């Protein structure tokens, strides 16, 4: 067990981004050199409000004027020796490269229709002599001209991509579908109470012919149909096609529900963000998205009770993908944003529609791999020089070397923390890029701090359609604790964080069997009263007989015990046990003779006793 004596200004970690996953600093800005002005050296110009902030603990000496950074801070409460800006204490700092306006590959185009062929002119949004341009027109043709023109073989849709290189941009690619149709098909419909559906043609352009396909085998050609009545309640795909003899052809399709009432009473609808179909959107929905990552299916079209790309929390109709999870859930539920792909962008709907987890199904078995939390220190001593806020760092651990976890695709859990001891907004999470679980480019993760709900931090991590075997440190959770509040209380509080509702899935989405998760505790002790408390504790706690031969009794008096540890003269632990009663018996009959250190942790602090075994 380690102990940290915090009698100096505790430095918060300066976190520099080395991978895709940032340290979750809140603000952006740049370094300003104030040397020889206002009595201070370097400050930070905030991009949010253009205020000038002065970190009183300083900035790294190699940070040059103009360096772009992300940062977070707390108010500085000590003496201010600089008049150049607002004094602050940094809690998070990371470098970033300001995006260059020259590093975009977006483009514009203009089409000149000439019969069957179409001449199209292309121009990059960014024009720079230091950049190289490469066009792929989507019909097998390419060009390296900056301002390109191309004759396409016919009307239709083409996927055109522009790649730019050089100028410090590396390689940037932008693709866009261009529409080279002279005519465009479109319609909308109105459903009547009697089952009759009216179709309104809104097509435009120089088309001369049209065709309606009603989705039930019926086809109408040449004229608008006005209205139509289906013989059965169902969801039909209705398509309108328009064309002319010059090569123009375009089709528009939409879903039509022929029955009365709500389509979601008839069909399986989706809720954006609810990937596991439990009626909630939260970190546990990350797990099926990870299992199905990269799968594609029909996008969620506008029509019936859906809007393309809508992430509103309401039931929306979507076509089945005919691919299911191990639990029988169609993959359309994983496509939270409705774009026809299961990927990281679907996590946005979870965040937008987030709800506290309630419907958690777990499989726990004694002796199975588990999740546990490991604080850097088990005891922190504070005194009058301790800053107002203390940072506690805990490692989120997966399993152990002797019991590694296998075929782990993703996991989600909740951390219960003492809300009254934590600064609001004072929790940050940093993913460990060196974790056995993979680097940040191989995973998706989500966190949600439910401050105000009793203190709960929800965490979810998933591989992108992959699984791993192993154990170890996955992420670091940092808590900013209100130190002066603790000092004023005159008590020795236990900062305990428990893990609850841990769920893990394997590569096919099946639940993995887990052991009971283990939390962790840090004891925060006021050093100014430690000596007095130690004397009082030693009077309260008795060990007898001492010396002992076969048995020793520990009586706790008026304090409440938490745990006991006994060490021999070599520092080896002989006993580790919880203290749940005011009396504890030590069986010393098989102990080697000698002096033992007995460490007794109570709600009033730690007492150290010596026991002689003869």
* Confidence at 246, pLDDT banded by 50, 70, 90: confident
Alpha-carbon span 477 to 426, nearest angstrom = 10
Alpha-carbon span 87 to 83, nearest angstrom = 9
Hey, which of 61-65, 251-255, 286-290 has the most confident mean pLDDT?
A: 286-290
User: Among 102-111, 427-436, 464-473, which is the least confidently predicted range?
Assistant: 102-111
Examine the pLDDT at 21 and tell me if it is beyond 70.
Answer: no
* Confidence at 413, pLDDT banded by 50, 70, 90: very high
pLDDT for position 212: 95
pLDDT for position 159: 92
Q: How far is CA 37 from CA 34, 81, 89, 183, in A?
A: 5, 12, 20, 67
User: Among 39-48, 126-135, 181-190, which is the least confidently predicted range?
Assistant: 39-48
Q: Do 371-528 and 541-613 show the same overall fold?
A: yes
pLDDT digits (tens, 9 = 90+) for 123-134: 888 878 788 999
pLDDT for position 473: 95
* Helix intervals (H) in 387-543: 483-489, 530-540
pLDDT for position 377: 78
Coil vs helix vs strand at 613? strand
Pairing status of strand 148-152 against strand 117-124: antiparallel
Alpha-carbon span 346 to 249, nearest angstrom = 33
> Would you put residue 107 in left (φ > 0), alpha (ψ -120 to 50) or beta?
beta
What does the mean pLDDT of the chain come to? 82
pLDDT for position 345: 92
pLDDT for position 14: 32
Examine the pLDDT at 467 and tell me if it is beyond 70.
Answer: yes
Measured at the CA of 347, the angle between CA 346 and CA 351, to 5 degrees, comes to 130
Q: Looking at domain 107-179, which CATH architecture does it have?
A: Sandwich (2.60)
Which has the higher per-residue pLDDT, 468 or 108?
Answer: 468
CATH number of 183-261: 2.60.40.10
Alpha-carbon span 414 to 275, nearest angstrom = 18
Which has the higher per-residue pLDDT, 529 or 93?
Answer: 93
Examine the pLDDT at 614 and tell me if it is beyond 50.
Answer: yes
Exposure b/e, 398-427, CB count within 10 A at least 16 = b: bbeeeeebeebbbbbbbbbbeeebbbeebb
| φ/ψ of residue 291, rounded to 5 | -65, -40
Alpha-carbon span 606 to 604, nearest angstrom = 7
Q: How far is CA 85 from CA 53, 94, 387, in A?
A: 5, 21, 21
CATH of 541-613, one of 2.60.40.3080, 1.20.20.10, 3.40.1160.10, 3.30.70.1380: 2.60.40.3080
Pairing status of strand 472-482 against strand 249-257: unpaired
Hey, which of 20-34, 126-140, 400-414 has the most confident mean pLDDT?
A: 400-414
81, 87, 91, 93: CA torsion to nearest 10: -90
Contact 284, 365 (CB under 8 A): no
pLDDT for position 214: 93
pLDDT for position 1: 33
Contacts of 325 (CB under 8 A, 6+ apart): 288, 291, 292, 331, 334, 509
pLDDT digits (tens, 9 = 90+) for 207-242: 889 999 999 999 999 888 888 999 888 889 899 999
The domain ranges of the chain are 3-95, 107-179, 183-261, 269-356, 371-528, 541-613
Examine the pLDDT at 431 and tell me if it is beyond 70.
Answer: yes
At which residue do the structure tokens 């080896």 appear? 572
CATH number of 371-528: 2.60.40.680
């Amino acid at each position: 067990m380690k102990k940290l004596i915090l009698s100096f200004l505790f430095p918060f970690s300066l976190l520099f981004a080395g991978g895709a996953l940032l340290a979750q600093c809140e603000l952006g800005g740049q370094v300003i050199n104030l040397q020889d002005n206002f009595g201070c050296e370097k400050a930070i110009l905030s991009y949010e409000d253009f205020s000038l902030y002065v970190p009183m603990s300083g900035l790294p000496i190699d940070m040059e004027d103009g360096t772009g950074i992300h940062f977070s801070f707390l108010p500085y409460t000590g003496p201010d020796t600089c008049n150049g800006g607002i004094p602050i204490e940094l809690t998070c700092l990371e470098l970033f490269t300001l995006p260059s306006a020259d590093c975009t590959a977006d483009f514009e185009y203009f089409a000149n229709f000439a019969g069957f062929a179409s001449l199209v002119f292309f121009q990059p949004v960014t024009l720079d002599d230091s950049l190289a341009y490469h066009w792929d027109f989507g019909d097998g043709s390419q060009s390296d001209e900056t301002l390109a023109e191309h004759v396409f073989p016919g009307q239709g849709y083409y996927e055109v991509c522009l790649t730019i290189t050089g100028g410090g941009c590396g390689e940037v690619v932008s693709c866009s579908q261009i529409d080279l149709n002279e005519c465009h098909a479109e319609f909308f419909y109105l459903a009547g109470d009697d089952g009759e559906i009216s179709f309104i043609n809104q097509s435009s352009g120089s088309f001369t012919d049209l065709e309606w396909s009603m989705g039930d085998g019926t086809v109408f050609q040449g004229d608008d149909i006005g209205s139509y009545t289906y013989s059965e309640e169902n969801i039909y795909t209705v398509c309108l096609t328009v064309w002319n003899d010059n090569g123009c052809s375009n089709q528009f399709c939409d879903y039509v529900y022929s029955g009365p009432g709500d389509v979601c009473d008839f069909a399986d609808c989706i809720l954006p963000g609810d990937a596991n179909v439990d009626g909630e959107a939260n970190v546990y929905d990350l797990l099926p998205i990870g299992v199905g990552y990269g799968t594609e299916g029909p996008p969620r079209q506008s029509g019936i009770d859906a809007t393309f790309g809508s992430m509103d929390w309401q039931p929306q109709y979507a076509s089945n993908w005919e691919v299911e999870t191990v639990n029988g859930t169609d993959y359309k539920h994983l496509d939270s944003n409705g774009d026809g792909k299961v990927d990281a962008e679907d996590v946005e709907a979870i965040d937008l529609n987030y709800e506290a987890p309630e419907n958690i199904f777990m499989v726990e078995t004694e002796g199975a791999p588990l999740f546990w939390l490991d604080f850097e220190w088990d005891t922190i001593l504070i005194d009058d020089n301790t800053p107002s806020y203390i940072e506690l760092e805990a490692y989120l651990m997966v399993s152990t070397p002797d019991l590694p976890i296998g075929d782990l695709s993703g996991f989600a859990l909740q951390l219960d923390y003492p809300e009254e001891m934590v600064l609001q907004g004072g929790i940050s999470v940093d993913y460990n890029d060196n974790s056995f679980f993979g680097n940040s480019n191989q995973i998706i993760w989500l966190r949600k701090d439910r401050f105000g709900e009793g203190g709960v931090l929800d965490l979810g991590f998933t591989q992108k359609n992959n699984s791993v075997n192993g154990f170890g440190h996955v992420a670091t959770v940092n808590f900013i604790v209100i130190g002066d509040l603790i000092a004023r209380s005159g008590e020795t509080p236990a900062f305990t964080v428990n893990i609850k509702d841990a769920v893990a899935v394997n590569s096919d989405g099946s639940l993995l069997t887990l052991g009971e998760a283990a939390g962790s505790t840090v004891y925060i002790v006021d050093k100014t009263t430690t000596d007095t408390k130690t004397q009082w504790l030693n009077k309260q706690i008795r060990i007898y007989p001492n010396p002992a031969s076969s048995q020793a009794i520990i009586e706790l008096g008026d304090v409440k015990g938490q745990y006991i540890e006994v060490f021999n003269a070599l520092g080896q632990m002989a006993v580790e046990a919880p203290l749940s009663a005011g009396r504890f018996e030590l069986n010393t009959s098989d102990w080697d003779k000698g002096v033992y250190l007995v460490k007794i942790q109570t709600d009033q602090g730690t007492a150290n006793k010596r026991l002689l075994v003869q």
